[in-house]
Structures are given as structure tokens and as C-alpha cells.
């Protein structure tokens, strides 16, 4: 990504920033629109191919700008068509991006950090530790790269129809880069993905959720995983700082402020831990009558974990209890587990800087405003 010069990576600029950049070069505003079209509608990175730009402008662009994405270290394709890329970061490290094709849609699961500091006990990314936040260009670059790799053609069908921030990292701990990246994804001159199809998933950083409600308009998913604080404190340590009541208040505020339909609550099914009928009833009483949907995720195992996946029968029973108590719940189909691309299996390559992990109680260092 860093080519050693001070050139500006155009994939890191929102529309307003690109307008300002182009104006700063003394060019007319429509040039910015032309550039956006080449970048996002035609997936072209080479300025020489941008044939409707004056040659002199192209030459100057080459001097001051680049269109750079992270480079691909490996690509794996699952038997079910799911694709996982390991992308190089800072030479030795890596993040993972996953594409999940389904009839009529293609979901890209992107990473927001190299590693993660939230320390959720059932997540393999947590075991890697945390290194750093991704830049806007590195986040946007994952979508750009997937489109290119999957053969997106100008005027053809969309390849990536949905983006979820459910890869490595806690997106709201990298708020200042995730928000402009989401803006570029939703911009009609950018990737032009509908706001209901760009989903930020959080483990529950309440102050950033409230900020997000005021400043953007994307969909929100919340990793709940437990119906009471005693259990959630164990599974999702950020709960000790922002307990369930505070978290749910922020969720309902988000829906009101955003005029959103609902919040999706993710709930990982851990055998004998959080999957009992009483947990389902407790969860139903928290969410009943609220704009909430529950997505049950069968636990995906990884080396060294102390947990096991709930049985299919236990998951089905849990779902039924929610449904009969007035809460809409679905079970997520596990995809790409033969290439370790399923939820919570992304490990990338992370040089841990453990001092900034939540487990070390130094969350203020890990969470940037």
C-alpha cells in the first residue's frame, strides 16, 4: 500500500475530499466526477486508461496520486464458492476478506483492523491480538479488489451487493476511518451500495454507536451473545464497561435517529454456555416488542478454543422459543468453513501489541475517537 512516496491514494478520499483534491490541482469539478466513474464504476486504476481525461491532467495525476489496494498474498476458494483473500499489511502482517456468493446477491465481509483488541473469548481473531487500525484506503481497497478479482465489468451486474464489517477487527474502535469508508461505499458516485446493505457490526462500543447514529446512515448489527450481564461479561469483555441495558438503549436510539427498520443482534451458539431454553426466554424478554432481529450463528471452532458448537437441535429449539415469544430469529448458514473463512475464524497475520488489548484493561488506548 505504501509506495514510499507522498502520493495521495485516491481510494482513501470521500467525494468531498476528491472534489477538493481535484480543485487543488486547478481542475474543474466535473473532472472529479470523471475520476470517480473510472475508479468505482469501471474498476480502472491506471490513469493512462482514463481516456476522457486530458493527457496533461493524467500526467499530473501520475505525479501526485495513486490508486493502490493492499496486495493479495493468497486466495482460497471453498467448495461452496466462498472466497477468502489474505491481504498483505506492512510486509509481514495480513488481514482477511471473505466473499460469500448467494443467489441474487454477493456479500463481502471486510476487516477494519489488523487483529482486534476486544478479546471476545470465542473469537479466533482475539487470540491474534491487536496491531493497528486500517486506513480508509485499506478498507475501501478490499471492496475495490474483490470487484476486480471477481471480474466486475462496467455496465455489468454488480458483484458485491452487500458489505458487512464482520471480518477482523472492531469497526467502531476505528471509527474515524470506518465512517468515511462506509460513506464511499454508499455514495452513488462511489460503489453505490444501498444504505441497508452496508452493515457495521459492533461488540458494543456505546459512545461510538451514538455518534454513528448521528453521523451516518448505514445498517447496524450488534454482537450480543448473552441475555444477561453476568454471562456477557465473560464472553464479550466490553460489556463490563457498557452493560446490556446501556447497549440496548443505544440500539433503540440508533433505530429512532436513523429511521432504520431494526437492529440485527448476532448470537453465537456455544454448547452448554448460552444456548439453554432459559437463555432464549431471557433474550426474548429483552427484545420483545423492539425493532430487533436475532441472527443465531453456530459457533465455528478454531484451534485452542475451549468452546463447542451447540447441536442443531439446541439451535432449533432456541430459535423456536424466540419466535414463539415474539422475536424474529434466523439461523445463519455456515459458509466457507472448509477454508476457515466462517465467522470468527479469520486470523490473518498479526504482530500482537498486547499492551493495547482490552484484556489488559487499556481499552482507552485501543479505541480511537
Whole-angstrom Cα distance, residue 135 to residue 176?
Answer: 9
DSSP states along 22-71: HHHTT--HHHHHHHHIIIIIS----GGG-TTS-HHHHHHHHHHEE---PP
- Geometric angle at alpha carbon 333, from 288 and 272, rounded to 5°: 65
Three-state SS at 223:
strand
Identity of the residue, 309 or 349, whose beta carbon is nearer to ligand SAH in the bound complex:
309
Which of residues 11, 123, 139, 226 is near ligand SAH by CB under 6 A? Answer: 123
Q: Supply the minimum distance, in Å, between the C-beta of residue 105 and ligand SAH.
A: 18
Collapsed DSSP state (helix, strand, coil) of residue 298: strand
From candidates 68, 166, 209, 329, binder to ligand SAH by CB under 6 A: 166
Nearest-angstrom CA–CA distance, 271 and 105 = 31
Which residue do the cell numbers 476458494 mark?
77
The stretch near ligand SAH (CB under 6 A) out of 19-27, 117-125, 281-289, 347-355 is: 117-125
Min. distance of Cβ 17 from ligand SAH in angstroms?
Answer: 26
How far apart, in Å, are the Cα atoms of 368 and each of 28, 92, 199, 208, 213? 36, 24, 20, 10, 17
Give 107's Cβ-side CA count (13 Å radius).
17
The SS3 assignment for 183 reads helix
| C-alpha to C-alpha distance for 110 and 98, rounded to whole angstroms | 7
> If you search the block for the grid coordinates 512516496, which residue do you land on?
5
Contact segment (CB under 6 A) with ligand SAH among 7-15, 50-58, 191-199, 292-300 equals 292-300
- Choosing from 82, 174, 199, 300, the residue that interacts with ligand SAH (CB under 6 A) is 300
Angle at 111 between CA 106 and CA 113, to 5 degrees: 170
Active site residue 96: yes
Q: Which span (82-90, 98-106, 201-209, 283-291) binds ligand SAH, by CB under 6 A?
A: 201-209
Give the Cα separation of 284 and 314 in Å (integer): 16
Kindly indicate which of the ranges 30-38, 43-51, 90-98, 115-123 contains the residues binding ligand SAH, using the contact rule CB under 6 A: 115-123
Instruction: Enumerate residues 240-279 that contact ligand SAH by CB under 6 A.
Output: 266, 268
C-alpha grid cell, residue 110: 471486510
Q: Which is nearer to ligand SAH, 201 or 258 (CB)?
A: 201
Interaction of residue 141 with ligand SAH, rule CB under 6 A: no
User: In this chain, which of 177, 344, 347, 367 binds ligand SAH, going by CB under 6 A?
Assistant: 344
**Residue 297 interacting with ligand SAH (CB under 6 A):** yes
Residue 343: active-site member? yes
Comparing C-alpha atoms, which of 348, 353, 357 is closest to residue 109? Answer: 348
Candidate list 201, 208, 216, 274; residue touching ligand SAH; CB under 6 A? 201
Q: Is 122 in the site for ligand SAH (CB under 6 A)?
A: yes
Using rule CB under 6 A, residue 128 touches ligand SAH: no
Shortest Å distance, C-beta 269 to ligand SAH: 8
Catalytic one of 27, 96, 170, 183: 96
Q: Which is nearer to ligand SAH, 17 or 337 (CB)?
A: 337
Residue with smaller CB distance to ligand SAH, 139 or 166: 166
Q: What are phi and psi of 201, to 5 degrees?
A: -110, 130
Tell me, by CB under 6 A, how many residues bind ligand SAH.
Answer: 17
The CB-of-297 to ligand SAH minimum distance in angstroms stands at 4
| CB atoms closer than 10 angstroms to residue 316 | 13
Residues near 303 by beta carbon (within 8 Å), at least 6 away in sequence: none
Choice from 203, 208, 258, 310 touching ligand SAH (CB under 6 A): 203
Among 162, 216, 223, 310, binds ligand SAH (CB under 6 A): 223
Q: Which residues are catalytic?
A: 96, 343
Which residues contribute to the site for ligand SAH (CB under 6 A)? 118, 120, 122-123, 166, 170, 201-203, 223, 266, 268, 297, 299-300, 343-344
Amino acid at each position: 500500500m505504501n509506495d514510499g512516496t507522498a502520493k495521495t491514494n485516491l481510494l482513501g478520499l470521500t467525494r468531498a475530499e476528491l472534489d477538493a483534491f481535484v480543485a487543488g490541482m486547478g481542475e474543474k469539478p466535473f473532472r472529479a466526477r470523471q475520476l470517480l466513474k473510472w475508479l468505482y464504476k469501471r474498476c480502472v486504476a491506471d490513469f493512462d486508461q482514463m481516456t476522457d481525461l486530458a493527457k496533461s491532467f493524467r500526467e499530473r495525476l501520475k505525479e501526485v496520486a495513486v490508486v493502490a489496494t493492499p496486495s493479495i498474498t493468497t486466495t482460497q476458494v471453498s467448495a461452496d464458492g466462498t472466497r477468502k483473500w489474505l491481504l498483505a499489511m506492512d510486509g509481514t502482517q495480513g488481514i482477511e476478506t471473505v466473499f460469500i456468493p448467494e443467489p441474487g446477491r454477493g456479500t463481502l465481509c471486510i476487516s477494519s483492523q489488523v487483529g482486534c483488541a476486544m478479546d471476545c473469548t470465542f473469537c479466533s481473531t482475539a487470540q491474534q491480538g491487536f496491531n493497528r487500525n486500517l486506513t480508509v484506503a485499506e478498507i475501501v481497497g478490499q471492496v475495490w479488489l474483490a470487484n476486480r478479482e471477481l471480474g466486475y465489468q462496467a455496465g455489468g451486474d454488480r458483484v458485491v451487493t452487500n458489505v458487512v464489517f464482520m471480518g477482523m477487527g472492531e469497526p467502531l474502535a476505528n471509527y474515524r476511518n470506518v465512517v468515511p469508508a462506509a460513506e464511499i461505499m454508499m455514495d452513488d458516485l462511489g460503489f453505490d451500495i444501498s444504505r441497508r446493505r452496508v452493515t457495521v457490526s459492533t461488540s458494543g462500543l456505546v459512545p461510538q454507536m451514538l455518534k454513528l447514529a448521528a453521523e451516518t446512515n448505514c445498517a447496524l448489527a450488534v454482537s450480543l451473545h448473552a441475555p444477561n450481564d453476568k454471562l456477557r461479561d465473560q464472553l464479550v469483555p466490553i460489556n463490563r464497561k457498557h452493560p446490556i441495558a446501556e447497549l440496548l438503549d443505544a440500539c433503540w436510539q440508533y433505530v429512532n435517529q436513523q429511521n432504520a427498520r431494526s437492529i440485527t443482534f448476532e448470537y453465537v451458539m456455544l454448547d452448554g454456555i448460552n444456548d439453554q431454553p432459559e437463555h432464549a426466554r431471557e433474550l426474548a424478554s429483552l427484545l420483545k416488542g423492539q425493532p430487533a432481529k436475532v441472527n443465531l450463528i453456530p459457533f465455528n471452532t478454531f484451534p485452542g478454543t475451549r468452546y463447542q458448537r451447540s447441536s442443531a437441535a439446541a439451535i432449533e429449539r432456541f430459535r423456536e422459543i424466540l419466535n414463539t415469544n415474539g422475536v424474529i430469529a434466523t439461523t445463519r448458514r455456515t459458509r466457507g468453513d472448509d477454508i476457515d473463512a466462517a465467522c470468527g475464524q479469520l486470523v490473518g497475520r498479526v504482530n500482537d501489541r498486547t499492551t493495547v488489548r482490552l484484556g489488559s484493561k487499556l481499552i482507552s488506548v485501543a479505541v480511537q475517537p
